[in-house]
Structure 1
Amino acid sequence: MSVDALLEGLGVGGLGEVDEPAFSGMAERHRRELHVHCYRMLGSFEDAEDTVQETFLRAWRRRETYEGRSTFRAWLYRIATNACLDLLDKSRPEPATGGEVLWLQPYPDQLLDELPAADADEPESVAMARETIELAYLVAVQHLAPRPRAVLILRDVLGWPAKDVADLLGDSVNSVNSALQRARAGMREHLPAERQDWTGGDEDAGTRDLVRRYTEASVATDVDTITALLRDDVRCSMPPTPGLYVGRDAVVHDWIESGFEDMKHLRAVLTSANRQPAVAFYMRQEEGTYLPLTIDVLRVTGGAIAEIITFHADQFPRLGLPETLGMP
């Protein structure tokens, strides 16, 4: 039985008649999709976790206000969106600037696999689910002000009618439509120009080979080979460390200045995050074990690497990567 059919059977009392364990079970069915929704809004995996917990707490405390005029799922999305807006208002009143997002964190693909599958008969919905979780989308959407950001995600990602979004935000339909147009314009400004050429769906053989060559050259600290794999307009960043480098020459110069060529004794593990190929690097210690170093999440366009976002070692456990590697 669906949650909404269960609620209908409860009669007038609705959620007021549901005890806490039953309510938790009903809400938990939607945890992953709510978490991804909050992640799109916030750009941070950890902040999204905290906001989902806040969402469930608010929902439980306000359960008697649920009147059944929308689905239980939609009701939770309303609460989650407002919880995100509250967090942004308190801790991040200004959106990201300059093309980088210092609070950006990766999202493990194995957790994305828990989402309800997009309808395979609707290729556009499949593409939307993939593209709106990729890091370039997350970076672009974080440059929008919070309320237009919410409008964009609710309308374009979740497909909510303008009236429902207006009701949630306490705005008019005209205001929502205007905010949506501004948000779409902002996304066009911050998304990569070659967005339509992104590698989509399962990685093809060419992409896998490119990632393999990048991995081998990185382990060998072979700057010349890596340079040949990069697009002229490649972008590189390392959140939460400030600094966005744009263009092959700028990226390679930063690597050399950072001592990349002196980083010997590396090993690599191929993985993925945000539906993109990723490479986790480990560095050998004096005792012979290899400890986590960094994770490169790659965006591949037209047979070359268009973007590298590097995350610190603290993201290894979340991505299900080994804590250490032994000698090969």
Structure 2
Amino acid sequence: MTPGLDASRFTAETERFRRELLAHCYRMTGSAHDAEDLVQETYLRAWRSHAGFEGRASVRSWLYKIATNVCLTARRPRPIRVLPSGLAGPSDGSGPPLRAGPDEVAWLEPLPDAWTTPPADDPAAVVVERESLRLALIAGLQHLPARQRAILILREVLAFTAPETAEILDTTTAAVKSGLQRARARLDERDTGSERLLEPSDPRARALLDGYIAAFEHADVGLLEQVLRTDASLEATPFPAWQSGRASCLYVLGAYVLGAPGDWRMFAAGANGQPAAVVYRRDGDGIPRADGVVVLATTATGVAGVVKFGDPALVAAFGHPAVLAS
């Protein structure tokens, strides 16, 4: 077989799995950018070993074996990625929020929906993909030991059998079953957002997102009060402190964040199967510059949670420029 034909065969056999492998690597690491790099490494290793792949397993399980082991190897020297609520309880609301130092915390990152959404002709797959990428679940997964995280994802998200999971991880079926029990127990100890969220396509979810955007662009605390639930939470990296309860959220946003009308510009987006917005803030020269991404947990009774990722570099992942024309 000529090299060109071999490359064509490799692409035909493997490329259709790229999106789901990216989602898998993101679930394992909590970082969209790390997931991109790990998928690239997965395909590089798969290409190198493709000639020796004899079809003893499906192409899909073969790729997941490579990707999972790439993630496990890559995770060893890295701290887990977290949200502020994974560090401590909510703030008492006294004093302005203080930033964490650049090397103090590894923060969870949002995942653009466009990177992983399955084809629209498979609506069931779209719903499953969204639910398995919700921010609360991803945050909870990061607190599991790496191999337990891999077992739970392979078994309960990707529906591999216990023997298939054992083959992927080079372990025994008994070890998989035991690891899954421990992972479930540890995950149950954490609040992983079991409440039913609205689908991003639901008009109620879009109305809540539009209301949140309007509140910021008009610096209107009253509009925020209309969209937030009484038990809403507010998290914003790189600030370790977070707020619980609408009154506390409104105080912090009104006192330290909203500013004046026109200070903020936001553009609707989708992340982690949830309504989101790309965020810009005007600097001292009046130029709107990338500020990060905000993701909402929208329910039938309002916004239950707000997570703002204060990393300007994330804006590019959502297809937006670093600076807007003022």
Place the TM-score, normalised by the shorter chain, in its bin. Answer: 0.7 to 0.9
State the partner residue of 2:183. Answer: 183
State the partner residue of 2:95. Answer: none
State the partner residue of 1:154. Answer: 154
Give the TM-score taking structure 2 as reference length: 0.82
User: Aligned pair 1:307/2:294, yes or no?
Assistant: no
The whole-number CA distance in structure 2 between the counterparts of 1:323 and 1:201 is: 25
* 8 Å contact from structure 1 (residues 16, 64) kept in 2: no
Distance 1:81 1:46, change over 3 A: same
1:110-149 → structure 2 map (5 Å cutoff): 110-113=114-117, 115-116=118-119, 119-120=122-123, 123=124, 125-149=125-149
225-234 or 47-56, which moves further after superposition? 225-234
Residues 222-254 of structure 1, C-alpha deviations (whole Å, 9 max, x = no match)? 223313422233222223443333332333343
The whole-number CA distance in structure 2 between the counterparts of 1:37 and 1:165 is: 14
The correspondence for 1:63, drawn from 45, 50, 63, is 50
State the partner residue of 2:74. Answer: 87
1:73-84 → structure 2 map (5 Å cutoff): 73-84=60-71
The whole-number CA distance in structure 2 between the counterparts of 1:76 and 1:35 is: 11
What is the count of residue pairs matched by the alignment?
307
* Secondary structure class of the residue paired with 2:295: strand
State the partner residue of 1:5. Answer: none
Aligned amino acid, residue 91 of structure 1? R
* 8 Å contact from structure 2 (residues 29, 81) kept in 1: no
Distance 1:16 1:146, change over 3 A: farther
State the partner residue of 1:51. Answer: 38
Give the TM-score taking structure 1 as reference length: 0.81
The whole-number CA distance in structure 2 between the counterparts of 1:181 and 1:127 is: 25
* 8 Å contact from structure 1 (residues 288, 326) kept in 2: no
284-293 or 233-242, which moves further after superposition? 284-293
Residues 20-45 of structure 1, C-alpha deviations (whole Å, 9 max, x = no match)? 56535643332222111101111101
User: Aligned pair 1:107/2:111, yes or no?
Assistant: yes
User: Aligned pair 1:207/2:205, yes or no?
Assistant: yes
275-284 or 249-258, which moves further after superposition? 249-258
State the partner residue of 1:245. Answer: 243
For structure 2, the residue ranges without an aligned partner over 5 or more in a row are: 88-104
The whole-number CA distance in structure 2 between the counterparts of 1:181 and 1:118 is: 35
How far did residue 85 of structure 1 move? 0.7
Aligned amino acid, residue 291 of structure 1? R
State the partner residue of 2:196. Answer: 197
Report sequence identity in percent: 36
State the partner residue of 1:220. Answer: 218
* 8 Å contact from structure 2 (residues 279, 293) kept in 1: yes
Distance 1:166 1:67, change over 3 A: same
How far did residue 262 of structure 1 move? 5.2
Distance 1:172 1:118, change over 3 A: farther
* 8 Å contact from structure 2 (residues 216, 258) kept in 1: no
The whole-number CA distance in structure 2 between the counterparts of 1:145 and 1:228 is: 40
Distance 1:303 1:255, change over 3 A: same
* Secondary structure class of the residue paired with 1:245: strand
User: Aligned pair 1:295/2:282, yes or no?
Assistant: no
Residues 161-215 of structure 1, C-alpha deviations (whole Å, 9 max, x = no match)? 101111222322222112212222333333455x3431136222x2222222221
The whole-number CA distance in structure 1 between the counterparts of 2:240 and 2:3 is: 48
* Secondary structure class of the residue paired with 1:243: strand
The whole-number CA distance in structure 1 between the counterparts of 2:182 and 2:81 is: 14
* 8 Å contact from structure 1 (residues 96, 144) kept in 2: no
Distance 1:263 1:138, change over 3 A: farther
Residues 112-143 of structure 1, C-alpha deviations (whole Å, 9 max, x = no match)? 23x356844xx5x5532210112122112112
